[in-house]
Amino acid sequence: MSLSVNQSISPAAQKDIIELQKRIEKFEQGEIAEDKFKLYRLTRGVYGQRQTGVQMIRIKLPYGKVTPRQLITIANVSDKYATGNLHLTTRQDIQLHFVKLKDSPALWADLEASDVTLREACGNTVRNVTASPDAGINPNEPFDVTPYAHALTHFFLRNPICQDMGRKVKIAFASDSTDSAMTYFHDIGFIPLVKDGIKGFKVVLGGGLGAQAMFAQTAHSFLPATEIIPFSEAVIRVFDRYGERANRSKARMKFLLKKMGLEQLMKLVNEERKALKGYHWPIDETIGRVEQPNPPHREVEVSNPTAFENWKRTNTFVQKQTEFRGIWVRVPLGDINAETARKLAGLVEQYAAHDIRVTANQGLLIKYVKPGLLPLFFQELTALGLAKAGFDSTHDITSCPGSDTCNLAVTNSTALSTTLEQMLENDFEHLINERNIKIKISGCMNACGQHMAANIGFHGSSIKHKGLVVPAMQVVIGGGLSPSGEGFIAEKVIKLPTKRIPNALALLLTAYEKEAEEGEYFNDYFQRVGKMHFYHLLKPLAETDNLTSAEFMDWGKQEQFVPEIGVGECASVMLDVIGTIIEEAQERLDWASDGLREEAYADAIYNAYSAFVIGAKALLLSVDIKCNTQIGILESFEEHLGQTEDFGQAKSFKTLVLQMKSQEPEKDFAHEYFQSANSFLRQVRTFRQKQLQSEGKEKLVISDFYKA
């Protein structure tokens, strides 16, 4: 099947889309193993669902920005290829569900016509770079971080240093010191500062949520803005070389930092400086600049003045451009249907700036609205079902899709979220004004719903009882951001049957209102009275002797609960052959050759480096030596094969390969290094041919996606 790709889209995107279609065809014909194809498609935003035969498509929206025209395109694509629903995520992406694999290239082509990509939205890459959605209009920001988030995004897009890492890297930019981007749980985080008239950032490293949440550590109290891209590149180079690859649960940046310590990590980062494309990377600050609208005035009389005032109080704010207002749009469950999205885009296109931001709590931000048009927006949003007050309040619960679509989810997040929001609306109406108690839900411990960054959080689990299984939620308390921007990670308190979570939440909120001191922040209250206070408060709800039949069913389900946890799309074990791994090394060498031809010398050098590493890995596996880091491969190859007659040379193998971090990426060295890698790969093929003549057949090895 041939695919017609719009010639107006970038050559790089055209190449990606055509290659995806060819890989799909080979996979369907049995020419590519399923696990190898999975590794490939994930980095193209194509993610397997819980349901067999369909995919989730993740659309990458750097710093959450989407224009009205792009939103209309995404809505049209959802109608054409998916379910007509757009799901807003906690990473400021948009996801489409129930897409046929064969439709994904055409879907991608339609998106790229509006400059929207899927590339590196999933997989072991630099994921979507997030940022505070109010960047550019925040009254307290030192400067707009949008151009910096944009530049860093595009620097790493298709960059060879982050195409095959041990695990993903998440980067965030806050707009001010209150850290609404929650940099404290990111692999790399940037908080803007101005020092002696120079723009720069506080830089943090090694944070993360998940089963073992960790705080990021301060790498630089102030780094000039022109150095953040070289610094990030150096960090990712070190992570790529030294990071764990065999054990997925230890493969994130936070574990590398914990293992070697900040001082040693920063030493290695500084050693990479010479090999970078430049020590300084100037940023074009006109990128992302918003054209202020001058819409016609339209007089509207609101039908419900009380609701309008509540909405205006909780969902609008004065921008730093004081003649305009920003409007927060609360989107329950982060789900918005295509027709609603098109109508919303039309409203924004006519009356506001063409810069909508997806927020980390699964909502939207509309920028540059004239105060006199707020009644119009309220009426129009009301008609669209998007004028619910209480954005980012206790009433506005964040939730991942859970067992609706995700393979890893244990329980249903969405139906529980809806139930809790209804309970809050009925019993805690006044908390619509409370913005310092956040509630977040994840379907499992992996924290896509960011439950560990919630004041009150829940993640899916289960409880065994008399041979049956009860759907449950682990209750975590004390995470999130304080009003001053201090980050907290929640603590596990108790596991409860999921049908009892509404009662548990009511108990927690009532206790806080009765026991907290005047003006006391929720987390300060939690720390003051102690974790065991909450354990004993909730323990009666953990009793299982009085379980009802309904408690053996998950929220939104009518059948008895059976945990069905699939294999996560972020990891998989696979069988491979040595010859296939050698061909992967050749592919990297071919990419290096392309880089030389295009005079992209830094990229060429890094691809040649990858060819060295993968080729060495292939031969180590052929003699049953396994390594879990790239540096381990170089050291093991030198020890076991480097001084044999097949590979012996004046320089040690490790020294030869690691020249790439001590040489500037200039033309002569790039060509010399490429020739060394090319020569090494010829030696690898000769060595392997001798093995095959001796063994008589290819060798099957067990590997996984996190091996170097």
Q: What is the CATH number of the domain that holds 334?
A: 3.30.70.3340
Residue 545 sits at φ, ψ, to 5 deg, of -70, -20
* Amino acid (1-letter code) at residue 26: K
d(CA 80, CA 529): 54
For residue 284, tell me if it sits in a domain. Answer: no
Q: Is the pLDDT of residue 616 over 60?
A: yes
Beta bridge partners of 172: 130, 189
Which residues, other chains included, contact 689 with Cβ-Cβ below 8 Å and sequence gap of 6+? none
Q: Confidence band (pLDDT; 50, 70, 90) for 36?
A: confident
Residue 631, token pair as written in the block:
């540096």
Beta bridge partners of 398: 440
d(CA 607, CA 591): 6
CB 552 within 8 A of CB 546: no
d(CA 419, CA 421): 6
d(CA 365, CA 204): 26
**Measuring CA to CA, which residue among 499, 623, 616 is closest to residue 554?**
499
Q: Confidence band (pLDDT; 50, 70, 90) for 359?
A: very high
Contacts 24+ apart (CB under 8 A), 620-623: 621/578, 621/581, 621/699, 621/701, 621/703, 622/578, 622/688, 622/691, 622/699, 622/701
Higher pLDDT, 430 or 32: 430
d(CA 523, CA 455): 7
pLDDT reported for residue 637: 92
- Rounded to two decimals, what is the model's pTM? 0.92
- Range ranked top by mean pLDDT from 220-224, 554-558, 615-619: 220-224
Q: Confidence band (pLDDT; 50, 70, 90) for 575?
A: very low
pLDDT reported for residue 289: 84
Show the CA angle centred on residue 570, arms to residues 568 and 572, nearest 5°. 70
**Number of folded domains that form the chain:** 5
Q: How many Å separate Cα 599 from the centre of its chain?
A: 31
* Amino acid (1-letter code) at residue 527: Q
Q: What is the CATH number of the domain that holds 157?
A: 3.30.413.10
pLDDT reported for residue 459: 94
Same structural domain, 421 and 484: yes
What crossing angle do the helices spanning 374-383 and 305-315 adopt, rounded to 10°?
100
Q: Confidence band (pLDDT; 50, 70, 90) for 707?
A: very low
CB 509 within 8 A of CB 431: yes
Same structural domain, 373 and 447: no
Work out the burial of residue 645: count CB atoms within 10 Å of its CB; fewer than 13 is exposed, 13-18 middle, 19 or more buried. exposed
Same structural domain, 339 and 402: no
Mean pLDDT of 596-603: 95
% of the chain at pLDDT higher than 70: 95
Sheet bearing 335-337, strands edge to edge: 46-48, 55-59, 94-99, 85-88, 335-337
The number of beta carbons lying within 10 Å of the beta carbon of residue 52 is: 7
pLDDT reported for residue 592: 96
pLDDT reported for residue 382: 97
Mean pLDDT of 667-689: 94
Q: Is the pLDDT of residue 567 over 70?
A: no
Positions of E strands within 325-438: 325-329, 335-337, 356-358, 364-369, 398-399
Same structural domain, 698 and 630: yes
Please give the full DSSP string across 90-102, using - where no structure is assigned. Answer: TTS-EEEEEE-GG
* Amino acid (1-letter code) at residue 574: M
For residue 285, tell me if it sits in a domain. Answer: no
Q: Is the pLDDT of residue 580 over 50?
A: yes
What SS3 state is found at 553? coil
Q: Confidence band (pLDDT; 50, 70, 90) for 561?
A: confident
For residue 217, tell me if it sits in a domain. Answer: yes
d(CA 56, CA 46): 6
For residue 427, tell me if it sits in a domain. Answer: yes
Which residue range(s) make up the domain with 41?
11-112
CA atoms within a 13 Å half-sphere pointing along the CA-CB vector of 390: 21
Same structural domain, 406 and 540: yes
Q: How many Å separate Cα 650 from the centre of its chain?
A: 44
pLDDT reported for residue 405: 87
pLDDT reported for residue 566: 52
Q: What is the CATH number of the domain that holds 74?
A: 3.90.480.20
Same structural domain, 251 and 162: yes
pLDDT reported for residue 570: 53
Same structural domain, 175 and 229: yes
Mean pLDDT of 402-426: 92
d(CA 181, CA 192): 12
d(CA 306, CA 392): 20
CB 525 within 8 A of CB 517: yes
Same structural domain, 454 and 423: yes
Same structural domain, 341 and 418: no
pLDDT reported for residue 645: 73
Residue 330, token pair as written in the block:
């609360």
Which residues, other chains included, contact 556 with Cβ-Cβ below 8 Å and sequence gap of 6+? 412, 414, 415
Same structural domain, 535 and 404: yes
pLDDT reported for residue 47: 93
Same structural domain, 403 and 547: yes
Domain boundary among 383, 410, 436: 383
Q: What is the CATH number of the domain that holds 634?
A: 1.20.120.330
Residue 48 sits at φ, ψ, to 5 deg, of -65, 140
pLDDT reported for residue 562: 79
Residue 62, token pair as written in the block:
């750097």
Domain boundary among 325, 350, 383: 383
Higher pLDDT, 326 or 406: 326
Which residues, other chains included, contact 248 with Cβ-Cβ below 8 Å and sequence gap of 6+? 167, 570, 571, 704, 706
Rounded to the nearest integer, the mean pLDDT of the chain is 92
Mean pLDDT of 468-472: 92
CA atoms within a 13 Å half-sphere pointing along the CA-CB vector of 453: 28
Mean pLDDT of 179-205: 97
Mean pLDDT of 674-691: 92
Work out the burial of residue 127: count CB atoms within 10 Å of its CB; fewer than 13 is exposed, 13-18 middle, 19 or more buried. buried
pLDDT reported for residue 35: 80
Q: Confidence band (pLDDT; 50, 70, 90) for 574?
A: very low
For residue 132, tell me if it sits in a domain. Answer: no
Please report, to the nearest 10 degrees, the dihedral formed by the alpha carbons of residues 552, 555, 559, 562 taken in order. -60
Domain boundary among 234, 255, 275: 275
Q: Confidence band (pLDDT; 50, 70, 90) for 700?
A: low
pLDDT reported for residue 572: 39
Which of 62-76, 131-145, 568-582 shows the lowest mean pLDDT across its residues?
Answer: 568-582
Residue 528, token pair as written in the block:
């003051």
For residue 264, tell me if it sits in a domain. Answer: yes
Q: Confidence band (pLDDT; 50, 70, 90) for 571?
A: very low
- Reduced to 3 DSSP states, what percent helix, strand and coil does the chain have, rounded to the nearest 5? 45, 15, 40
Mean pLDDT of 514-537: 96
Please give the full DSSP string across 259-295, using - where no structure is assigned. Answer: HHHHHHHHHHHHHTGGGSS-S-----TTTTPPPPP-P
Mean pLDDT of 326-330: 98
Which residues, other chains included, contact 210 with Cβ-Cβ below 8 Å and sequence gap of 6+? 252, 445, 446, 447, 452
Instruction: Sort residue 420 into left (φ over 0), alpha (ψ -120 to 50) or beta.
Output: alpha
Residue 403, token pair as written in the block:
């067992």
Q: Confidence band (pLDDT; 50, 70, 90) for 39?
A: confident
For residue 393, tell me if it sits in a domain. Answer: no
Same structural domain, 545 and 402: yes
Mean pLDDT of 571-600: 81
d(CA 560, CA 93): 34
CA quadruple 516, 518, 522, 526: dihedral sign? negative
Chain segment 247-305, per-residue pLDDT in tens: 878 899 999 999 999 999 999 999 998 999 888 999 999 988 888 999 989 999 999 99
Q: Is the pLDDT of residue 630 over 50?
A: yes
Element containing residue 416 per DSSP (H, E):
helix 414-427
Which of 375-389, 497-511, 551-565, 629-643 shows the lowest mean pLDDT across its residues?
Answer: 551-565
For residue 149, tell me if it sits in a domain. Answer: yes
CA atoms within a 13 Å half-sphere pointing along the CA-CB vector of 6: 15
Q: Is the pLDDT of residue 703 over 60?
A: no
Q: Confidence band (pLDDT; 50, 70, 90) for 573?
A: very low
pLDDT reported for residue 650: 60
d(CA 612, CA 597): 20
Residue 212 sits at φ, ψ, to 5 deg, of -125, 85
